[in-house]
Amino acid sequence: MPRRETNPNDRSQHKPDVAAQSETNSDAVHDELAIEVGRDESAEDGGEHRCFSVRRDIKRRLDVYLHQRLQRISRSKVRQLIDLGGVTVNGTAPKPSTTVKRGDLIDVILPPPAIRTIQPEPIPLDVLYEDDAIIVINKPANLIVHPARSHLSGTLVNALAHHFKQQIEQAGGAWTSWQTRGFREHDKQPDGTTIDGLSGVGADECRPGIVHRLDKNTTGVIVVAKNDQAHWHIARQFEDRQTIKAYLAVVHGCPDPPDAVGGVIDEPIGKHPTIREAFAVRHDHQGKQSVTLYRVRERYNGYTLLELELKTGRTHQIRVHLSYIGCPVVGDIIYGGEPIGWADLEDPPIPAGSRRDLNFARNRDEGLKVEAQAAARDDVIIAQPALHAAMLQLTHPLTRQTVRYTAPVHEPVATLVRELRKHKMDGPVATEGYWVDLSLTTPP
């Protein structure tokens, strides 16, 4: 897709397309003519974001109003959501008793819906931290976070259910299908009442406790909420960009200019116009503001170890942005990165996604062909994206203290970095302002 010059929207001024939404539920909003000015479920992080603008002076309590506007949420859960900071009115934290008036802008963050059923599966987990509110995992590659579409098992959620099952049994308890700390098996009642679940918000999608996601082959830190309060508190942090997320990526080449130690990629991202599986930089109404900071941590012959800090959380954001500047992630076949073998350490290939300002992406058939070629080689080190979520910093939902979780890289990225360090190149690197301690995350 050719690049067109444009100024990405300032998110602080961004408003999604305005769309009127009719109400058919009792007298809740029969005369207020409130409009929903924001509904975003496409972000990589956080839950569902909804924003309402009230057009008439209805003089109704906030908890009553939201209970009537938001489906499948009890009034007590709405009060919890307000108390935990999941709701703002005109940019400030309200009380449940706050009166809704004409002109009010009500912003709501809902955690992702809960699951209906889940089957425990003995999938190994690398647990970095766990308490009564959260569990933090160092996710391996080739592990989908939650069931979706054709992937109904073999996910992180299935592994967590087994983890909790083991805890109960080791404590001398008897496990049943509903005793997995919120991963409950339940059925919708005949009267249409809310289906119980981990977050208590609904049961439409298989995402219990999942506050943010990582791509299937992206490794590293992921935090999962164990209860509603923790879920809402963390989801609001992600939406308000109060978390700090830092990744490590081995990329082809080095970002321009060659002597820079870092930079900013501020390019809007949306669905790729022709390739269903991919995303792209889009300077049109479908592009959403996306900002990635990068820092050069180590330089090698033909490759660079970058630290990436996300300021937004779009799907495939790092991979799309790095490909767009001509430095695709090593092994990221979709976005023009190449599988790397031992010979490629000495003689680095020119990746397909090396041209700047282009939305390079392989379609499914092209990607499968490259994967087959890599599988036929006997010297491949890595044939998946060399991308790792190395550090996550947030406010703990119980203690309200700032906590930071750091995850060592998994194989084969560890081997790739270890071998590339034998081919280091001179050049400036970031010596300050970074988040990731390489001594804790990469091999010696």
What is the four-CA torsion angle of 72, 76, 80, 82, rounded to 10 degrees?
80
Which has the closest alpha carbon to 157: 186, 121, 116? 121
List of long-range contacts for 29-38, beta carbons under 8 Å, 24+ apart: 29/58, 29/68, 29/69, 31/56, 31/58, 32/56, 32/58, 34/69, 37/105, 38/107
Buried (b) or exposed (e) across 264-284, using 16+ Cβ within 10 A?
ebebbbbbbeebeebbbbbbe
274/156 Cα distance (integer angstroms): 30
Buried (b) or exposed (e) across 298-310, using 16+ Cβ within 10 A?
bbbebbbbbbbbb
Residue 221: strand pairing partners: 138
Backbone angle region of 103, left / alpha / beta, with phi > 0 → left and psi within -120 to 50 → alpha: left
Query: Which distant-in-sequence residues (6+ apart) come within 8 Å of 42 by Cβ?
Result: 288, 314, 315
107, 215, 332, 344: which one is catalytic?
A: 215
Residue 36: strand pairing partners: 19, 52
Backbone angle region of 400, left / alpha / beta, with phi > 0 → left and psi within -120 to 50 → alpha: left
Radius of gyration of the chain (CA): 23
Handedness of CA 48, 319, 262, 381 (dihedral sign): positive
81/62 Cα distance (integer angstroms): 11
Residue 210: strand pairing partners: 224
Kindly provide the residue ranges of all beta strands, DSSP E only, lying in 185-240, ordered along the sequence. 219-225
Give the DSSP per-residue string, 65-77: HHHHHSTT--HHH
215 is catalytic: yes
The token pair at 37 is: 């000015």
Query: Which distant-in-sequence residues (6+ apart) come within 8 Å of 248 by Cβ?
Result: 297, 305, 306, 307, 308, 387, 388, 390, 409, 413, 436, 441, 442
Handedness of CA 183, 189, 195, 196 (dihedral sign): negative
User: Is the CB of residue 370 less than 8 Å from the CB of residue 361?
Assistant: no
Please list the active-site residues. 215
